[in-house]
Each structure stands twice: as C-alpha cells, then as structure tokens.
Structure 1
Amino acid sequence: PCLTSDAGVLDNLERFLVTTLGKGVVRAKDTPNFVANRIGVFSMLATIANAEKYGIRFDVVDDLTGPRLGRPKSATFRTADVVGLDTFAHVVKTMQDTLPNDPWHGLFKTPAWLAALIEKGALGQKTKCGIYKKEGKQTLVLDPAKGEYVNAGEKGDDAVKAILKETNPAVKFKKLRDSQHPQAQFLWACFRDVFHYIAYHLADVADNARDLDLAIRWGFGWSVGPFETWQAAGWQQVAGWMQEDIAAGHSLSQAALPAWALEADRAGVHFAHGSYNAAQGTLAGRSTLDVYQRQLAPARVLGEDAPQLGETVFETEGGVRAFTSGDGVLVVSFTSKAHAIGPAVIEGLNKAIDLAEAQYKALVIWQTEEPFSVGADLQSMMPAFMTGNWAAIDDTVRQFQNTSMRLRYSLVPVVAASQGYAFGGGCEFLMHCDKVVAALETYIGLVEVGVGLLPGGGGCKEFALRAAQESRGDVLAALKDYFMAIATAKVGTSALEGQAIGYLKKTDTVVFNVHELLYVAKQEALAMAEAGYRPPLKAKGFPVAGRSGAASIKGQLVNMLEGNFITKHDFTIASLIADVMTGGDLEAGTLVDEQWLLDLERKAFMSLLKNPLSQARIANMLTTGKPLRN
C-alpha cells in the first residue's frame, strides 16, 4: 500500500487475490523489489558469490541447492535461465541503483560471465541458450573460468549429500559448518549469508517474519522459509556461528547482527500466537480479514500454533482419521504414506461411511496435505503376491470396488476434496463421489497401465457407464476417448484438464486456493444435505459396445503394434481394457448393470497380475519409482 491507499480498496483487492486468483498475499513495505525478490535474488547472488569463492561448478551448485534443500528442481542457475538472464540482471540493477546504503551493495552487480552471455543474446530458456544449453541430447553448462561450455551432469559429493539427508536440522547445520569439504562450506556460507541478510533487513522490508518466510515459500517455491530454517536449526547456536564468521571476515558483509537477533532468551521469530515484528519489537498475529475464515487449514510457519482440526471421532493405524467440527459433516483423511489405498484405508473409509450414514449429514474426504492419493498400495499386496495367495488379492480388489460403489450410493452426500496427485485408485474414488471439489493443481489420471495393470476399482466400469449415458445411440463413439485415456494412462495436469478428459465431471467444482478446499467441500456437502439429498438410483440396464466395439478398438491397436508405437504387452493390456469397457463377449447394445462390468474388470485385473511382464512392471515401479516399457 501507498501512504494514501484506501483501506477498503486494499481489503477488497486482498479478498479477490486470495479466493478468485488463489494467491497467498503479503502486504509489503514500499522498498525496492519488495519482499520475495529482495530476499530471493539476494540468495541467488550470495550463492553465485560463494560458488566462485569455493570453486563449485554450476551444475553441482544446482544439484545441491534444489530438492535436497526443499527447493525447486531448477535450483539456482536453472532458475536464472528460466526467469531470463536479462530479467534477472534487471532485478539486480534495481538493487544496485536504489539501495546504495545496503551493507551488501558491493554484491549487487551482474557478474562478468553473466553480462557476456546477455551481450551475445544467450538469455536462458527463451533463447534455448544461457547458463545451460543443449546440443542434441547432451546438456552443457557454462564454465565461467574457461568462458566455454562443458558437459553438464556432475553431482554433489556423496559425503555432503549424506549430511543433507540428516533429519535433525541442528545436527545437519553443525555437520555442514564443521566439515572441511568445500561443498559443505559453500552450503553453510549460503545459509549464513541469507540468515544475516534477513535479520539485518527484517525491520525495513516486511511487517513480520511470517510475511517474509511465506513470501519466499510462495514466490520462490521453497518448502521452508529462511527464518523457519534458522529457528529449526537452533536460533542461538546459528546466531553464535554467524557472529564468529562476521568477526572473522568470512561473511559477505561485516554489518552487525541487529540486537534483537542476539537476545539471550531468543528461541526464534515464530511463536504460537504470532511472528516477530522487528520494527516494533512485538509479535504480529494473523490477518483478521474475513476471507481467511474460508481457510480452515491455512499455510502455517514453524512454531506457529496449529490447533487440531475438529474433534477426532476415530483413528486407525495406517488407515484414516475421521473428525468433525460439530457442523454435521464427518471429514475423513487418509494417514497412509502418500495416502496410498491399502486394506487399512479401505476398512477405515467404510467405517466412516457407516458412521456418516448413522449420525451425520454428509461425508467429506479431504487430505491434510497433498497428494490426494497415489492410488492402490501395491506394497501391501506383496505378501499375498509372493505366496501366490490370489484369492486374498481378489478379495482385496472386490472390497476396493465395493468401497467405490458405497461412495456412489451412500445414504448421505459424499464430497471429495482433491489436491496434488490423484492417481489410479485415488482417481477411481473421486469418480464415484457425488461431487469433487478440486484444487486447480490437481493432477489426475487412471495410470495403472504404467504398472502393467488396468483400473480395478471401478474406473473401467465408470467410463463405460458414462459413455452409455452420453452416447445418443452410438456407444462406441462415446467410449473411444475414455478408452484412450485409460490405455495411454493420460493424466490431466490441472483440474480443468481433468474435466476435459472426463475424470472429473463438468459439474465438479474447481477452486483456485488450495487452503479453501475443506471449507468449500463442506459447504457443497451441506448444501446437498439441506436440499434433501437422496442417493442416485442404481444404473440398471445400460448399453455396451459389445464384441464388435472391442474388435473395432483392437483393429486400431494392431496398427499401433505394427507401427512399433506400443509393445506386445501394451497390446495385451489395452485389449483387455477394450474387452472390459465394451462389456465382454456380448452383442452390441446389450444391456448390462454395473456389477457385470465390475466382475469383468476384476477378472482382467487378476489375469494381468499373474502375468510375468506385468509383475516386472510392478517390481520396477516399487524399486525405482519409474515405469518400465516391456
């Protein structure tokens, strides 16, 4: 805001930005580059300076400063390429021109090698050449000392990567600082210089430490803000090390740490009831603007009070937690790893449906964090798989299907709130709910082909049913796109694309702010309940494309096989999918019910599970996390 900005206009703008655009809002002080760019670009400049000081290659820097630190894959130098080197240099020049009294002013300049790249038009990703460039399949990276490109792909040293895997932040930072390895010293220096900068400038650039951390998390994609990182590592320990480095001339500036940062009893800047405001020496609470009442689970910072959402009704080990806030809605969340769906989740979800039907107005399926679900828990099937206990696996698949059908025909409305990945069985659960409230960034698809299987929890059945309902007499024409979505494991890379493919219905709701998911899902569920919800009538007697429809699809698959677009096993899987979705060995137009297709689906799923080629795909996915083409 400017000094004369109207408070009401600002509040309305914030409401619009939060709900309609789905953004996180920080009200910045009017200083150059505001909050995120001021700190984020400083961090990049400090990283560049320390990389030169310790002689770390650019590709090694990117290997060490990306996901290993909870930051984007683009890390440091790739981020500059993505942003555009000219744009990055422009932001740096703003700091150079407008911050003459900043103790780090000497750092605010474009390195000679960067200026040379810009001079010859190598501006990064938009010109296909920058700090990195590709020649054929080979990726090259600039060596600034030589002034030429060298083969990229070098990684950080294993000993340093082992330190970064340390789960205790205090231990991790002590190991980094104590290590004599140049890469470890480089990492400590990068952290130290950013901590130094944010402490020195907090009073100038942001209203409080929470705003600064959230700005960096939202604006630069860090999973943890810099103040959170410092606090987690032990405020006093890190502050002491910084003092030593400043005194020894190791840091990028000799500016003294502010007095508040060195208070003897200081444990951090984020506390249960607020975050530190350095200008006033007080704790600042959360915004009381009404739009934030829609965020039942807002983004929180380390150390902030995070009250338990609702009162727990029941919880099962490795399965689900069900809770309520006294509004008549039972909310159920999966507690398994990546919210994978195994026997414990299926059992817990059925228990939640029973309870909702008996005592509540509605049921909402919502996860406390993304993903919604990565799908069926194949690992849980391994004991039965190894002993050849096919009957047990068949029973698990049957229970999975029955759970999908219970979601569809429950006596109370069932609304799912999805975010992140919703793959395989997770997607099938969404397809069977009365309504889905999907965050815009929902990545959804029936991806079972990647592990040599087909959707076994009702996905094939559901698409066949939808095709029949949409067909206007030509079931096969309506079915073909749905078939291709499953056969090619097509993923919708947003909720809107998920609607276009058909995983989500056109009537499903898409919300732009992920923190509003639970609120909107509850409102949708209550609206249905208050409107006198009745479960849909069971679909009895809908037409299928039959054996002639399957033959038409397989004819196209033969062409794909002969053209080497698919493997023989791909052909086997896709042919089985075609058989299931067209209703099996029946005449075109034959009327079937949902159970008929579910039985076909389960039988085909089991046949693939017993196939050695599918078993190889499953094993490869479980061991490497990547699909196998065989």
Structure 2
Amino acid sequence: MSEKLLVCRAAVLGAGVMGAQIAAHLTNAGVDTVLFDLAAKEGPADGVVLKAIGNLGKLSPAPLASKSLAEAITPANYDSGLELLKGCDLIIEAIAERIDWKQDLYKKIAPFVSPTAVLASNTSGLGINKLADVLPEELRHRFCGVHFFNPPRYMHLAELIPAKTTDASVLEGLETFLVTQLGKGVVYAKDTPNFIGNRIGVFSILSVIHHTQQSGLGFDEVDALTGPLLGRPKSATYRTSDVVGLDTMAHVIKTMADTLPDDPWHQYFKSPAWLDALIGKGALGQKTGAGIFRKVGKDIVVLDLEKQDYRPADRVAAPEVVEILKERDPAKKFAALRASAHPQAQFLWACFRDLFHYSAYHLKDIAETARDVDLAIRWGYGWSLGPFETWQAAGWKQVAEWIAEDIVAGKAMSSAALPDWVFDGREGVHGAEGSYSPARDAKLPRSSLPVYKRQRFPDPVLGERFAPGETVFENEGVRAWHDGDGILVISFKTKLHTVSDKVLSGVQEAIAIAERDFRGAVIWQPKEPFSAGADLSGALGLLQSGDLKGFDAMVANFQATSQRIKYSLVPVVAAVRGLALGGGCEFQMHSARTVAHLESYIGLVEAGVGLLPAGGGLKELAVRASNAAGPGGDVFAELKKVFETIAMGKVSTSAVEAKELGLVRKDDVVAFNAYELLHIAKQEALALAERGYRPPLPARRVQVAGEVGIATFKMLLVNMLEGRFISPHDYEIATRIATVLCGGEIDRGSLVDEDWLLRLEREHFVALAQMPKTQERIAHMLKTGKPLRN
C-alpha cells in the first residue's frame, strides 16, 4: 500500500506569475492555500501577495475557476508569517530561478516545516540534488522537484523530479495527489537541466530557429508550417515564443548553454542576434505588445530580418507542401518531405530529423522511457504526437537510415552518432507491452500505482490499445457498451457529438436497455466535446423544405429524450468535458447527476442562432425556480438569476462557474482529471443505484411568475433596446424566452405542469424558427461558426 499524501493545507512560496497561479489552482481544487512572498516595504506587510491575488482576476486565460475563489487564498510574508507553515502538509516553492535564493529560503523556512510535510521546488530546470544539499537531514527524504507548466490550471503536464534522497512513498503520495486532486498528467524526469519537456521542447524551438536562418524562410511562413498542419497548437513556434515571453525564452536558452557544456549540440544553445536586439528594445512579446509579431490596428505584422523592420504577416505554407502534409500515411509523408526540393519541405524534414536525432541521443540521460518523452511534449507543448511516436509512425528503420545518412553527409546539426539501440532491428519504441527504456534495455509497462486504475482510457501513446468494452446496442447516432460492472455507457458517434434524430432514438433505446439489464447509465464521450448541441443543418433542411410538421415532431422528440433521461428508472449520469452547448447542456440538466470536468464550457446558446432552448432547458429552469422559491415564494427572484444567462447565450468558463450560472446543480460533481471522468461518473451512478434510486416525481404543481413576470422582464429589455445594446430580433427572442420561463400569459402564482411548459417551449421555438432573421442566423453559424447579430 503506497503512502497517502493528506493535504489539509498547502503553502506556495513566491507570488510571481507561476506561484500565484499554482496557488489559484490549488484553491480551484478546494485546497486551503497560503501564498507567501517578501514583506512589502510600504503599506501592509502582505502587500506584495495581496497585489498578486488581486491580479489573478485580470489574467487571461483565467487561473481561477471562479473569481470569487480569490478570497480563499491566505496572504502571508516571510518576516511575520512563517508560523503558518507549521500547519501545511504540502509546500511548493516557486521563487525566481536562482539556486542561491532558493537555498537561502530553504534555510529560513526549515525550522517551521512540519515533520510530515512534503517540500517541492517548482523549478523549470535547476538541479534538484543541489537544492537538497542545504536541507536538514530529516527533511531531505520529503523533498523533490515538481515542475508545473504555464498556465498551471490548463497545462496537463507536471514533471516529478526525485532527488537521490527522496522517499519512494513520498513521490507516490505526491503523484496520486497531482493526478486526482489537481488533474495532472505526471511524468518522472531525471535530475538533468530543463528536465524532459523543456529539454526536448526548447531544443525543437532552437532547431526551428537554426533552420529558419538556413532556409531564409519568414517567421510567419514557419508558423504557418509548424502549427495545426503538424498537429501542433495554432501559436506554432514564433507566436508561442511571443506568448511565453522572449526574455523567458532567452533565459531558458542561456540555462541550456550554462548547464550543458558537453552536449554535442552546445554550439546552437545561444540566442540569435535578432532575439537579443528585440529584448534590448524591450519588445518581449505579448506582455509588451510587440515581439516577433505585433498588432497594428487590426492587422498583424511580423519582423522581417532582411528589411530590419515589420511587414504584413501574409506568408503561408506552399500548396504543394500542404498537399504533402495532408497525406494520411506517415511513411509516404516523410518520404515526400525528404524527396521534395521545395525549401519549405526541406526545412520541415531538417527540423524533424534533428529533433529525432536529439531525442534518441539523450533519451537514456533524461527519462526512463520513450513514453515519458512523448507524453511530456504532448501534455506540455500541446503536440498531438510526441517525437518518438512521429518517428515510429513514419517507419522507424527507414527514417533511422535517413538520419544516419544525413549525419554522415554533414547535413545534421550535430555529428554525434545515433545510439546503437536505434539500429537493433526494432520497428519502434512503443508497443502493446510498453515503451522502451534504454537504461534497462526493455519495454516497460505503464505505472501500476493504484491511482491509474481510475483511468479506464488513459491517454494512449502510439501502439497502445485499450479494450473498447462490450457493445450492447449501436445505431448511426450512438454506441451503448459496458465493462461488466453493471453500468451502460452511452457514447455519441456524430461529428462534435451533435444531437441528430439518430442520437435521439439511440439514447431512448439505450435507456430502455439500461432499465432492463443494468443498474445505471452514463452518457460519456471518448473525446471532447460532450456535445455541441442540436444538429442545426438537419433542422434548417426541414424548415427550408417547408416541413413544419416534421420540424415540430423533431422538437417534440428532443424534449421526449430529455424527459426520458430525467424519468429513467435507473440513474442516468452525464459525464461532461469540453463544450456542452444547447441540447448537450439540456441533456446534462435532465440527468440524475452531472459529473463535469473542471474544463467544461456549458451554456444554453440558442439565442445566438435566433432560437430559444427547447429541449426542456427552459422548462427545467422554471421547475427549479419554483422548487427554490417554495410554495407561495418569489419565483421571479429565482428566474432573474438565470434569465440573463439564457438571453445572452452565456457559456461558463469552468464547471465551477456553470454552477454559479445555474446550469449545473450545486450538488453535482466537479472532476479535475479528464481521464478519471468515466470512473467517477460510474461510481456516482452505482452509488445512486445502491441507495435504491427512484426518478423524481413528475412536476405537476410548478408555480410560475406569469404575465407580471413577463412584463417586468420586458421593461428591462426595452431599456436595452432603446440603448441599442440589443437588436429588435434580440428583443423578440428574449421576450419569448421570458414568456416560457414565466409560464406564459397567465396569472402570477398559477400552478402548471411540465407538459404545459414543454408545449410553450415548442410553440415559441417553432415560431422563431420560421422567421427569416433566425434562418439567416442559423445559416451564418453553419457557414462561419460565428454568431450573427442581425
């Protein structure tokens, strides 16, 4: 049994950008957190930290899952607050990257650290063993490195770096905490400069810089080649450098130069002259408004080295190179890149070749297995495939021969030979049995730590397969399957998991099967999003062909499916991550319980396409308002909280905010690790079943706000219309939303049933759908993916 890390309270030392955001994410996870920094020279002693906490609400993307969480962070300083450390179980040091400063701080805090607390340094590349040298003997076995990637709330990767003295049980406890409580993907790195992610990731950037210079391509051209076309983020290479900060970039390069004198690629570990020049001018990238790229009005301009000035950023990937990159077969793609005479293709081959060469040469020193390298790059840099996966997919032996040829011909960045294991007859480094470890000369399986049993489908590397479960029912819209644990899993098969008529009939059929043969059901998608909502193109088709009857029947069937979820005789749990919009949001509203991943973006967005929610969403909000108000209570006050959310089509920026918006219930569950979502949802379904689950009784006495409520909402809307905050069509939509939420033009306090509210939803939905302005909005959304304000 591995030791558990019990974290009642945590401390973060250093309220800089990283420290404050780590404190924010601990707070997101419900950990009582103290944030430390130096005592302020003027004003309150905790002034430095108070300013940092205040700044968290201004950052984008938001470090806090809800702005209100900022108040939960306790500010402290090193002069008067060290007593607070005694009650902390986990202490994360995140001060500036200077070994002498860190060591001085450790000496200062050591007397206040509890005998069971874990101390971890969030360094991006300093020596962990060296840092441990100054610690008292009794603290050394509880010290290690933990490297969060920026921004810590969103980046999945956390590197764990043991010191020679770290206890295995301490590492296992911390790993378990990071995985489940903070939602991280943990990779163990050896104590080498920059660890795994930045060692390989920054080398990749350095090789791109080198080959950009060699090939004479523009920075915008390189970004057009090294972004989504390669399965990497839109910010590609140079825009990423601007976002990270050119000064940070130069600092990391300098760290590599200073700490890796014997690296065969050492000559490339220096900032190019243009980078030093930009930093000298104070053009540090996004934070200063100018870097390699700059925004001028609405236009983006890019640095042109020949002109020594900015020019419009308009260079793109050449059509013939785009064709090569679209090739589905990686072996053919790499052969074509290498054979092409086009400078862009030559550039890409050279970048891949040197990345593969570097990764293979250093694998043994920096990581236990090739899996650790690939996952570190995917989770830390957002690539869809890591370097070893890319190489293996392209044909290991052939690519290895090409790299060796280029090394001999003097084309590679370094003349260092590839390690012998590359040529031992292997077809790659990943397989069903595990991933290759040069130190042990064997393929090692994934970690057997109990926390990973919670991941039914962990993030697979190339060559890994996880059993898909046993299919019970399948149609064009859904697949219903199980693992023999009594829970039926319902997964959608449509693009973006939109809700089509086949999905509706599939969900109804699957629930009938679950009631008969299972203890509960979970609606879960193997990949994001949960659901982007109703299938708009199908709906528009029915409207344009004038089939109103068919259109009305489709809406009625949508409502019937939501009601089927709500009144199922076994609990139906919605496991949400990513987008849950429109009908996707309504399905989770009708489930017995929602388990939402922290990064769930939930909203009833129908107003944006000129419609109102009609899959039971407004009905459900009216029922909840009536329940919250209680008999004879003020229903309107409850409706006011959600009206703006629906009329403005607001989408939550986290699962926590979805609760605040009233789209997710207070007692629904927020999960932090996306790969644990299915496990948690199944446990919730089983727990409900264990308690002898019954669906709610039909809502037959729903108290409504009636015509007085509608009139009050209209007054708010008229002011907005006259102030030109909304268009006449927005006014039309919002008035109809208000009408349904308030139960129609009837007396205030009247009692209605769910069918009454569903009929109102349907009538107003069908009426809006027939309006030319709504049809324009739908067509515009389908064409551009953006809402039209008409």
Give the structure-2-normalised TM-score.
0.77
**Distance between the aligned counterparts of 1:592 and 1:311, measured in 2?**
43
**Distance between the aligned counterparts of 1:293 and 1:423, measured in 2?**
31
The residue aligned with 2:466 is 306
Q: In the TM superposition, what are the counterparts of 1:84-99 in structure 2 within 5 Å?
A: 84-99=245-260
Root mean square deviation of aligned Cα: 1.5
Asked if 1:455 corresponds to 2:616, the answer is no
Deviation at 1:205, TM superposition (A): 0.9
Deviation at 1:460, TM superposition (A): 1.3
Higher mean C-alpha deviation, range 114-123 or range 197-206: 114-123
Higher mean C-alpha deviation, range 436-445 or range 157-166: 157-166
Match 1:410 to one of 568, 579, 588: 568
**Distance between the aligned counterparts of 1:144 and 1:299, measured in 2?**
41
Deviation at 1:305, TM superposition (A): 2.9
**Distance between the aligned counterparts of 2:167 and 2:737, measured in 1?**
60
Asked if 1:233 corresponds to 2:391, the answer is no
Higher mean C-alpha deviation, range 206-215 or range 454-463: 454-463
Secondary structure of the structure 2 residue equivalent to 1:491: coil
**Distance between the aligned counterparts of 1:616 and 1:160, measured in 2?**
37
The answer to whether the Cα contact below 8 Å between 2:573 and 2:684 also exists between their aligned partners in 1 is yes
Match 2:501 to one of 320, 334, 343: 343
Deviation at 1:227, TM superposition (A): 1.1
The residue aligned with 1:583 is 743
The residue aligned with 1:569 is 729
The residue aligned with 1:358 is 516
What is the identity, as a one-letter code, of the residue corresponding to 1:507? D
What is the identity, as a one-letter code, of the residue corresponding to 2:427? A
Deviation at 1:382, TM superposition (A): 4.7
Deviation at 1:383, TM superposition (A): 4.3
**Distance between the aligned counterparts of 1:532 and 1:153, measured in 2?**
63
The answer to whether the Cα contact below 8 Å between 1:273 and 1:305 also exists between their aligned partners in 2 is no
The residue aligned with 2:133 is none
Q: In the TM superposition, what are the counterparts of 1:595-610 in structure 2 within 5 Å?
A: 595-610=755-770
Match 2:653 to one of 478, 493, 498: 493
Deviations 1:31-57 (A, max 9, x none): 110000000011111111111211221
The answer to whether the Cα contact below 8 Å between 2:242 and 2:284 also exists between their aligned partners in 1 is yes
What is the identity, as a one-letter code, of the residue corresponding to 1:324? H
The residue aligned with 1:615 is 775
Q: In the TM superposition, what are the counterparts of 1:193-208 in structure 2 within 5 Å?
A: 193-208=354-369
The answer to whether the Cα contact below 8 Å between 2:605 and 2:650 also exists between their aligned partners in 1 is yes
What is the identity, as a one-letter code, of the residue corresponding to 2:443? L
The answer to whether the Cα contact below 8 Å between 1:561 and 1:571 also exists between their aligned partners in 2 is yes
- Percent identity among equivalent residues? 60
**Distance between the aligned counterparts of 1:470 and 1:521, measured in 2?**
26
Deviation at 1:234, TM superposition (A): 1.6
| Structure 1 gaps, min length 5 | none
Asked if 1:519 corresponds to 2:679, the answer is yes
Secondary structure of the structure 1 residue equivalent to 2:295: strand
Higher mean C-alpha deviation, range 448-457 or range 266-275: 448-457
Secondary structure of the structure 1 residue equivalent to 2:185: coil
Asked if 1:381 corresponds to 2:542, the answer is no
**Distance between the aligned counterparts of 1:554 and 1:179, measured in 2?**
65
The residue aligned with 1:128 is 289
Secondary structure of the structure 2 residue equivalent to 1:197: helix
The residue aligned with 1:445 is 603
**Distance between the aligned counterparts of 1:424 and 1:192, measured in 2?**
46
Deviation at 1:559, TM superposition (A): 2.3
The answer to whether the Cα contact below 8 Å between 1:271 and 1:305 also exists between their aligned partners in 2 is no
Deviations 1:416-475 (A, max 9, x none): 111111111001000110111111111111111222211110111112222222236222
Deviation at 1:199, TM superposition (A): 1.2
**Distance between the aligned counterparts of 2:445 and 2:714, measured in 1?**
63
The answer to whether the Cα contact below 8 Å between 2:540 and 2:775 also exists between their aligned partners in 1 is no
Higher mean C-alpha deviation, range 377-386 or range 2-11: 377-386
**Distance between the aligned counterparts of 1:109 and 1:329, measured in 2?**
56
**Distance between the aligned counterparts of 2:624 and 2:355, measured in 1?**
54
The residue aligned with 1:325 is 483
**Distance between the aligned counterparts of 1:171 and 1:389, measured in 2?**
48
Asked if 1:83 corresponds to 2:269, the answer is no
Residues 115 and 285 of structure 1, relative CA distance in 2, 3 Å threshold: same
What is the identity, as a one-letter code, of the residue corresponding to 1:463? L
Deviations 1:520-551 (A, max 9, x none): 11111111111111111111212222122222
Match 2:586 to one of 428, 442, 449: 428
**Distance between the aligned counterparts of 1:266 and 1:327, measured in 2?**
39
Give the structure-1-normalised TM-score.
0.97
The residue aligned with 1:20 is 181
Asked if 1:294 corresponds to 2:436, the answer is no
Match 1:37 to one of 173, 192, 198: 198
The residue aligned with 2:353 is 192
Secondary structure of the structure 2 residue equivalent to 1:626: coil
| Structure 2 gaps, min length 5 | 1-161
Higher mean C-alpha deviation, range 296-305 or range 618-627: 618-627
Deviation at 1:113, TM superposition (A): 1.1
**Distance between the aligned counterparts of 2:614 and 2:346, measured in 1?**
51
Deviation at 1:153, TM superposition (A): 4.1
Secondary structure of the structure 2 residue equivalent to 1:304: coil
Deviation at 1:21, TM superposition (A): 0.8
**Distance between the aligned counterparts of 2:686 and 2:402, measured in 1?**
54
Match 1:557 to one of 717, 739, 759: 717
What is the identity, as a one-letter code, of the residue corresponding to 1:20? Q
**Distance between the aligned counterparts of 1:248 and 1:482, measured in 2?**
68
